[in-house]
Protein backbone atom coordinates (compact mmCIF):
# COMPACT_ATOMS: atom_id res chain seq x y z
CA UNK A 1 0.00 0.00 0.00
CA UNK A 2 1.82 3.12 -1.23
CA UNK A 3 1.99 5.96 1.24
CA UNK A 4 3.78 9.19 2.02
CA UNK A 5 6.24 8.70 4.88
CA UNK A 6 7.24 11.51 7.21
CA UNK A 7 9.92 11.50 9.87
CA UNK A 8 10.08 12.20 12.70
CA UNK A 9 6.47 11.88 13.81
CA UNK A 10 7.13 14.02 16.86
CA UNK A 11 9.85 16.55 17.62
CA UNK A 12 10.39 18.61 20.75
CA UNK A 13 13.16 21.16 20.61
CA UNK A 14 14.30 24.35 22.22
CA UNK A 15 14.02 27.78 20.71
CA UNK A 16 16.97 28.58 18.47
CA UNK A 17 17.69 24.98 17.49
CA UNK A 18 17.63 23.71 13.93
CA UNK A 19 14.79 21.38 12.96
CA UNK A 20 14.76 19.15 9.89
CA UNK A 21 11.66 17.28 8.78
CA UNK A 22 11.80 14.63 6.08
CA UNK A 23 9.29 13.29 3.61
CA UNK A 24 9.41 10.31 1.29
CA UNK A 25 6.77 10.80 -1.42
CA UNK A 26 4.90 7.99 -3.10
CA UNK A 27 7.08 6.40 -5.76
CA UNK A 28 6.29 7.85 -9.17
CA UNK A 29 4.66 11.03 -7.92
CA UNK A 30 6.14 14.17 -9.44
CA UNK A 31 4.93 16.84 -7.01
CA UNK A 32 5.54 17.34 -3.30
CA UNK A 33 3.69 19.80 -1.07
CA UNK A 34 4.52 21.05 2.43
CA UNK A 35 1.68 22.24 4.69
CA UNK A 36 1.49 23.57 8.22
CA UNK A 37 -1.56 23.02 10.39
CA UNK A 38 -2.40 25.08 13.48
CA UNK A 39 -5.60 25.65 15.40
CA UNK A 40 -5.60 29.34 14.56
CA UNK A 41 -4.68 29.27 10.86
CA UNK A 42 -5.86 25.84 9.80
CA UNK A 43 -4.03 24.20 6.92
CA UNK A 44 -1.55 26.49 5.16
CA UNK A 45 0.49 25.67 2.09
CA UNK A 46 4.14 26.50 2.69
CA UNK A 47 5.81 25.35 -0.54
CA UNK A 48 5.68 22.83 -3.31
CA UNK A 49 7.97 21.19 -5.82
CA UNK A 50 7.28 19.66 -9.21
CA UNK A 51 9.86 17.34 -10.69
CA UNK A 52 12.09 18.40 -7.79
CA UNK A 53 12.04 22.08 -8.83
CA UNK A 54 10.54 24.59 -6.41
CA UNK A 55 7.38 26.06 -7.94
CA UNK A 56 6.01 28.15 -5.13
CA UNK A 57 7.33 28.93 -1.67
CA UNK A 58 5.36 32.10 -1.10
CA UNK A 59 3.72 30.66 2.01
CA UNK A 60 7.02 30.08 3.76
CA UNK A 61 8.83 32.55 6.04
CA UNK A 62 12.00 32.98 3.99
CA UNK A 63 14.29 34.08 6.77
CA UNK A 64 14.14 30.86 8.73
CA UNK A 65 12.46 28.19 6.61
CA UNK A 66 13.95 26.34 3.69
CA UNK A 67 12.66 23.45 1.60
CA UNK A 68 14.65 21.22 -0.69
CA UNK A 69 14.28 18.08 -2.69
CA UNK A 70 17.73 16.52 -3.05
CA UNK A 71 16.36 13.57 -4.96
CA UNK A 72 13.04 12.14 -6.11
CA UNK A 73 12.63 10.07 -2.95
CA UNK A 74 13.34 12.74 -0.35
CA UNK A 75 11.98 16.18 0.44
CA UNK A 76 13.15 18.18 3.45
CA UNK A 77 11.79 21.15 5.36
CA UNK A 78 14.24 22.93 7.62
CA UNK A 79 13.70 25.60 10.24
CA UNK A 80 16.73 27.50 11.51
CA UNK A 81 16.49 28.98 14.06
CA UNK A 82 13.23 27.59 15.40
CA UNK A 83 10.84 29.72 17.43
CA UNK A 84 7.88 28.82 19.68
CA UNK A 85 5.45 30.18 17.06
CA UNK A 86 6.64 27.43 14.70
CA UNK A 87 4.95 24.84 16.90
CA UNK A 88 2.46 23.09 14.62
CA UNK A 89 1.86 19.89 12.70
CA UNK A 90 3.72 19.84 9.40
CA UNK A 91 2.32 17.70 6.61
CA UNK A 92 3.88 16.52 3.43
CA UNK A 93 1.69 15.47 0.51
CA UNK A 94 2.59 14.06 -2.87
CA UNK A 95 0.73 13.76 -6.15
CA UNK A 96 1.00 13.16 -9.85
CA UNK A 97 0.07 16.44 -11.49
CA UNK A 98 0.42 17.91 -14.94
CA UNK A 99 -1.36 18.23 -18.26
CA UNK A 100 -4.15 15.69 -18.46
CA UNK A 101 -3.48 14.39 -14.97
CA UNK A 102 -5.61 14.68 -11.89
CA UNK A 103 -4.36 16.93 -9.11
CA UNK A 104 -4.88 14.47 -6.27
CA UNK A 105 -2.75 14.91 -3.18
CA UNK A 106 -1.94 12.12 -0.76
CA UNK A 107 -0.91 13.12 2.73
CA UNK A 108 1.60 11.75 5.18
CA UNK A 109 0.82 11.35 8.89
CA UNK A 110 2.62 14.58 9.76
CA UNK A 111 5.39 15.77 12.06
CA UNK A 112 4.17 17.33 15.29
CA UNK A 113 6.69 20.01 16.25
CA UNK A 114 6.89 21.63 19.65
CA UNK A 115 9.37 24.46 20.15
CA UNK A 116 9.90 25.34 23.80
Partner 1 sequence: AQSVTQPDIHITVSEGASLELRCNYSYGATPYLFWYVQSPGQGLQLLLKYFSGDTLVQGIKGFEAEFKRSQSSFNLRKPSVHWSDAAEYFCAVGAESGGSNYKLTFGKGTLLTVNP
Question: What dihedral do alpha carbons 8, 113, 28, 58 form, nearest 10°?
Answer: -150
CA distance 55 to 116: 32
- Residue 103 makes contact with partner 1 by CB under 8 A: yes
CA distance 42 to 36: 8
Q: Which of 55, 83, 85, 116 binds partner 1 (CB under 8 A)?
A: 55
Cβ contact 108:93 at 8 Å: yes
Shortest distance, position 17 Cβ to partner 1, whole Å: 24
Shortest distance, position 18 Cβ to partner 1, whole Å: 24
Q: Which of 2, 17, 18, 56 binds partner 1 (CB under 8 A)?
A: 56
Shortest distance, position 69 Cβ to partner 1, whole Å: 15
CA distance 89 to 109: 9
Judged by the rule CB under 8 A, the positions of this chain that interact with partner 1 are 4, 31, 33, 42-43, 45, 48, 50, 55-56, 91, 93, 95, 97-110
Amino acid sequence: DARVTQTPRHKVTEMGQEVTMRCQPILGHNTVFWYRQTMMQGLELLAYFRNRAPLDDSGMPKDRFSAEMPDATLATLKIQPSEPRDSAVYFCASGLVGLGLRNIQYFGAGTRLSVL
